[in-house]
Amino acid sequence: MGLLPALLVLALVTLGPALYLIITSLTPLTPVNPDTAFDFSDPLGNYQSILTTDEFWRSVWVQIELSAVTVVTQLAAGLGLALLLDRPSRFLEALRTGFLVPMVLPPIVVAIIWKILYTPDISPLHHLLAWLGLPIHSLITNPSTAIWAIAAADTWEWFPFTMLMLLAALQMVPKEPQEAARIDGANAVQLFWHVRLPYIRPTLVVCVLFRLIDSIKAFPLIYVLTDGGPGGATQVTNYYAFEQTFSFSYWGYGSAVATLMVAGVFVLSIMVNRLGGEAIDE
């Protein structure tokens, strides 16, 4: 059968590593000392120390902040543009492709683009603000603004995703109720709120979940712009796990953090799976 080889390979490359990850998370593995790979004397030790480590909880908080802000801004920008572009016009259809550019660019290129914008010496943004008489200091080296700088770049990169999905949803809204509401004298806001919004609500929910999950994986932007700093201000959980594992060689501990992340993402995925099905069934 055609299905079997693919499922076997898929299992090998996904379930295999997942199992291996969980096993590693039960050991104090560090590459410095190979014996630690099979040391199961304190299987839950990593998890215990995670839960009592302030740095971990701080990274969770930074993650929540970043995810909340970017999901909201991406949804707002995506919805606004989708409403603006959702009209039968050849011209607007051509423009749509242009709006997709940030999303399809390689993430590392997005990171470079924003590194340039945030580096005062060469940034057109900083030059422009100075010219307007509003000079600002570097946003990414200041602990209180760094997270917002990352959020802005992330919003730029991913609003096309919500825009694209919401455009597709808006185009599925049947015409009759909209016509009826218009004849009854509904203005644009009422029309959106009472007629179109109920139709696109399931897509909105799926959008939120997709962006939420992807925001947990944000890496190149943070790596290039702030390296988790300054002073841990932009160290999200993913970055924390990366540093613990690959900078400090705490493989077991890093695996445990990664396992917790997978568990969280899995729960969110089940929600997508349910709600995504509903979005179509309705």
Partner 1 sequence: MSRRLPFGEGVAVLILAVVLSPALWLLQMSFRHNADIMSTRLTFALTLENYTALWTGQFTASFVNSLLASSMSTAFSLLLGVPAAYALARWRFRGERHIALWILATRMAPPIAFTIPFFLAFTWAGLMDTVTGLAMIYVTFNLALVVWSMRGFFAAVPRSLEEAAWIDGCGVWNAFLRIVLPLAAPGLAATGILCFILSWNDFFYALILTRTRAMTAPVAIVNFMQYAGWEWGKIAAAGVLVMLPVLVFTCFVRSYLVSGLMAGGVKE
List the interface residues with partner 1, window 181-210 (CB under 8 A): 206, 210
For residue 30, the cross-strand partners are 33
Q: In whole angstroms, what is the distance from residue 143 CA to residue 226 CA? A: 10
Alpha-carbon distance of 31 to 256, in angstroms, equals 16
To the nearest 10°, report the CA torsion of 152, 153, 158, 160. 80
Please say which residue, 41 or 91, places its beta carbon nearer to partner 1: 91
Cα separation, 208 vs 68, in Å, equals: 10
Binding mask 36-55 for partner 1 (x = CB under 8 A): --------------------
- Asked if residue 136 binds partner 1 (CB under 8 A), the reply is no
| Footprint of partner 1 on 218-277 (CB under 8 A) | 219-220, 223-224, 238, 241-242, 245-246, 251, 254-255, 258-259, 261-262, 265-266, 268-270, 272-273, 276-277
Residue (95 or 180) nearer to partner 1, CB = 95
Q: Whose Cβ is closer to partner 1: residue 72's or residue 105's?
A: 105
Residue 6 binds partner 1 (CB under 8 A): yes
The yes or no reply on residue 99 touching partner 1 (CB under 8 A) is yes
Nearer to partner 1, 179 or 227 (CB): 227
Write out the H or E segment, with its range, that includes residue 159: helix 146-172
**DSSP bridge pairs for 33:** 30
In the numeric block, the tokens 């969770």 are attached to 60
Considering only residues 63 through 92, tell me which ones interact with partner 1, judged by CB under 8 A. Answer: 81, 84-85, 87, 89, 91-92
Helix 54-85 / helix 146-172 crossing angle, nearest 10 deg: 40
Rounded least distance, CB 103 to partner 1, Å: 8
